[in-house]
Structure 1
């Protein structure tokens, strides 16, 4: 069953969005993802582990944390 991972990522421009998309495109198990610059939210769906997604996105140099649960 696919996992949904929601992250808060400090992105300021389309360049930041591009960097995040690049690492997610190369990641194994990712079925789909959305990057919302305005909300600073990245949602990843696929056969992935939340900690691996967090680690990968953090490697872009952007401040990254799990999206706060309501």
Structure 2
């Protein structure tokens, strides 16, 4: 299952790598694709549906990023 999100706080390739690694550490996330253009656009492939709150909790292990769902 793929869902689209917007991650705020992404500004460079280093941010992309750090956020991608953090998200993919969650057992329900198979793959996270994060783009710099448009900045912070994210496509997450999950084994099971995760809420934005659950994803934000995972992101809170690193500081400076927020996630929000965009149109399905």
Do both proteins adopt the same fold according to a TM-score greater than 0.5, normalized to the shorter chain? yes
Instruction: Report what 1:44 is aligned to.
Output: 44
Structure 1 runs not aligned, ≥5 long: none
SS at match of 2:16: helix
| Superposed CA RMSD | 2.3
Unpaired runs of at least 5, structure 2: none
Alignment match, 1:62: 64
Q: How high is the TM-score relative to the length of structure 2?
A: 0.70
TM-score normalised according to structure 1 size: 0.72
Q: CA deviation at 1:26?
A: 1.0
Q: Deviations over 1:12-67 (max 9, x none)?
A: 11111111011122111112221012221122121241221122124322231314
Determine the C-alpha separation between the residues in 2 that align with 1:63 and 1:43.
Answer: 16
